Chain A
Amino acid sequence: MTDLALGGKAPADRDRILRYLQDYGVYLGVAVLLILNIFLTPHFLSAENFRTQAVQVAPVLIVALGMALAIGSEGVDLSVGSVMALSTSLLSLYLGYGTWIALIVALIGGAAIGVANGSLIAFIGVQPIVATLALMVAGRGLALVLLPQLKDVRDPTMASLGSGDVLGIPYLVLIAAALALVVAFVVRRTTFGRQLLAIGDSRPAARLAGLPVRRVLILVYVCSGVLAAVAGVLATARLTASDPTSLGNLMELSAITAVVVGGTPLSGGRIRIGGTVAGAVLIQLLTATLIKHDLPPSWTQIAQAVVIILAVYAARERGKR
């Protein structure tokens, strides 16, 4: 019955629903998970719990912001996890000069990897997935050469960065929120943002229009590298240790998931920062729900995969139109 009824105007309706799902499905998902948890998870509705989830999601979100820029330019940055590892190694190595110098060196390390990624892509024409894969391997290697094993960080400034707060809001959450606002502003209101989206839409057209394609692409990967380094620094502060062996492992997957689930198409030309934030929160809530209910750890991975497939399905249907 329903099938028949839909028969006539189905394509338009279905299309509208799918577009709606792609744009707002992630918020729906977050809402559903929140409601489920409030009823099913003991002690979920508490300030401490929300604080924990927000602190845990902060580094993932910061990396995802950079990833959104890369994906918006029709690229991807697989090196983000390794950049986190590199930044933690550099930080640990330079703390002897003082916290701020070490922080700056760590961020420069991220920027350097970004320059390398961007140059390979913009000047030599290497595919983003290949270029950043190369730096993913090289970055982790370099991080382990610099600091072969976990080392404690005793610097008090770092410790307070990791666990301190302003009016009950942890520094990590404030920094992540501020960066999300900045990146949203850059995407929507700056020339760089518009050029980036134009390049993501069609690189040949952008080149013909006389846009500084190379400069913009390099800047995109520098942003991604620096944001990943910020995430690495914050994760180090929270752990009060530099662990280049495991820090940032599989971070590229979490970040790409957050971006794609948030409604940013992999085909470039469009970036949804609000959706990316919600996407990161969605994955965090999903993981937290499964852990809190003590479900087998492998379920988390399967659940994440299901979410990715749903998101990509919605995006694909729309792209085919």
Chain B
Amino acid sequence: MKPTTRLSRISARTLLATGLAASLALATGCAKSEDDGDKSSVSKDQGDSGQVVSEPSEGSGPTCAIDAYGGKKLDLESATVGFSQSEKEANPFRIAETASIKAEAKKRGVKLLTANAQSQFSKQISDVQDLIAKGADLLVIAPLNSDGWEPVLRSAAAKHIPIVTIDRKINTKACKDYVSFIGSDFVEQGKRAADQMIEATGGKGDVAILLGAAGNNVTTERTKGFQDRVKEKAPDLKIVFKQTGEFAREKGQQVTEQLIQSKPGIDGIYAENDEMGLGAVNALKGAGKKAGDVKIVTVDGTRNAVQGIVDGWISGVIESNPRFGPLAFQTLDTFTKGTKVSQDIVIKDSAYTKDNAKADLGKAY
């Protein structure tokens, strides 16, 4: 009895291992997806070529100079820059963000070290420590969290390594723990989305909001901006529905399906990201609505959403600019040359409407 048991155990394990290995090989080895043909043309556009490069909007806020921060002047061209990305490059925003940093480093001939925290904060902390240990003179960080940075930033500050954070702010002292924050103004994005919605609907009717993930500052700020602007400029535009689509296309579709059944007369939908907006388009198509029946305004500026404007389903897209490369390097360059830089730098977000969507489709990420 015993030998057979053992034999069956061994063979089971072998079976398991070979099965998994074989399926993995099968899955990766001979895959052939729908559009392998035009893949290269898509990825070619992902860089910075031909895209709107951000301009630092000169803020009136506090500034930071190298004497106040500590450290010495250096020449960016001969320096090593470390870049710590928060999430894996699995969505268009992160892909474009990392590509922009890499492209700008290449353009300026700067040596770039990169790390990706894969959405784990503890990994990002050790990533930053590694980058410092590997000899990074300057750091660009896309933080996963706003909190918990004090220890690692203190050790960087001890070495007087200038740090620029992009797309998310960290809750420590600017010009002491880090130099500048470069990011979008999410409240402003909400306001601009409201402007587009007011224009599309003529300023009256019922609109719904597809909220982003709960407890996320992007959600709160994009909601606040939209509501404030609607209240101020178009009191006849009523927000009658606010439900979360969790920033995902599927949830956006499901929630919109419920919405158009219980409120068939809805005039507009403000989706706090493109994916939920595309889900809403799916739902409207499924319900037999025609393009333009319900005005949709989204935020992000991905290629699919801008294509949605060209097709007539989406009225407007407010961009959330992921191309931090030029601005981040420019800030570091200015700072290390000894000129003061703004502590809060707002990146310029463009917008897409039916007037420019077709022409600017190539600029969408």
Contact A92–B16 (Cβ < 8 Å): no
Contact B240–A294 (Cβ < 8 Å): yes
Check B111 for interface membership: any CB of A closer than 8 A.
Answer: no
Chain A interface SS verdict (over half): helix
**A48-B287, A52-B258 given; A245·B33 CB < 8 A:** no
Could you tell me the distance between the alpha carbons of A243 and B91 in the complex, rounded to whole angstroms? 10
Could you tell me the distance between the alpha carbons of A105 and B29 in the complex, rounded to whole angstroms? 13
**A41-B262, A119-B12, A245-B91 given; A109·B23 CB < 8 A:** yes
Check B74 for interface membership: any CB of A closer than 8 A.
Answer: no
Check A142 for interface membership: any CB of B closer than 8 A.
Answer: yes
Check A163 for interface membership: any CB of B closer than 8 A.
Answer: yes
**Which residues of B have CB within 8 Å of A92?**
33-34
**A48-B261, A96-B33, A153-B34 given; A291·B19 CB < 8 A:** no
Check B92 for interface membership: any CB of A closer than 8 A.
Answer: yes
Which parts of B142-193 form the interface with A (CB within 8 Å)? none
Contact of B257 among A43, A52, A152, A294 (CB under 8 A): A52
Contact B255–A291 (Cβ < 8 Å): yes
**Which residues of A have CB within 8 Å of B13?**
119, 123-124
Contact A148–B9 (Cβ < 8 Å): no
Of the listed stretches B228-236, B245-253, B326-334, B347-355, chain A binds B245-253
Interface size on A, residues (CB 8 A): 55
Contact A43–B262 (Cβ < 8 Å): yes
Contact A115–B19 (Cβ < 8 Å): yes
Which parts of A210-249 form the interface with B (CB within 8 Å)? 235, 238-241, 243, 245-247
Check B63 for interface membership: any CB of A closer than 8 A.
Answer: no
**Which residues of B have CB within 8 Å of A95?**
33-34
Check B243 for interface membership: any CB of A closer than 8 A.
Answer: yes
A4 CB to closest chain B CB, in angstroms? Answer: 48
* A-contact 0/1 string along B86-100, CB 8 Å cutoff: 001111100100000
Check B68 for interface membership: any CB of A closer than 8 A.
Answer: no
**Which residues of A have CB within 8 Å of B263?**
42
Contact B16–A116 (Cβ < 8 Å): yes
Check A292 for interface membership: any CB of B closer than 8 A.
Answer: yes
Contact A116–B20 (Cβ < 8 Å): yes
**Which residues of B have CB within 8 Å of A267?**
none
Check A93 for interface membership: any CB of B closer than 8 A.
Answer: yes
Could you tell me the distance between the alpha carbons of A120 and B9 in the complex, rounded to whole angstroms? 10
Check B275 for interface membership: any CB of A closer than 8 A.
Answer: yes
Contact of B90 among A93, A149, A292, A298 (CB under 8 A): A149
In the complex, the chain A residue whose C-beta lies closest to that of B251 is A246
* A-contact 0/1 string along B256-298, CB 8 Å cutoff: 0111011110000000000100010010001100000000000
Which parts of B1-52 form the interface with A (CB within 8 Å)? 8-9, 12-13, 15-16, 19-20, 23-24, 26-28, 31-36
**Which residues of B have CB within 8 Å of A245?**
90-91, 248
Could you tell me the distance between the alpha carbons of A238 and B282 in the complex, rounded to whole angstroms? 9
B92 CB to closest chain A CB, in angstroms? Answer: 7
Could you tell me the distance between the alpha carbons of A93 and B32 in the complex, rounded to whole angstroms? 6
Contact A119–B34 (Cβ < 8 Å): no
Which parts of A134-193 form the interface with B (CB within 8 Å)? 142, 144-146, 148-155, 163
In the complex, the chain B residue whose C-beta lies closest to that of A135 is B20
Sample (27) of A-B pairs whose CB atoms are under 8 Å apart: A41-B262, A52-B258, A56-B257, A90-B27, A93-B31, A95-B33, A95-B34, A96-B33, A112-B19, A115-B16, A120-B16, A142-B27, A148-B88, A149-B91, A153-B34, A238-B253, A238-B282, A239-B249, A239-B250, A239-B282, A246-B248, A246-B250, A291-B259, A292-B261, A294-B240, A294-B241, A294-B242
A interface residues with partner B (beta carbon < 8 Å): 41-44, 46, 48-49, 52, 56, 90, 92-97, 105, 108-109, 112, 115-116, 119-120, 122-124, 142, 144-146, 148-155, 163, 235, 238-241, 243, 245-247, 288, 291-292, 294, 297-298
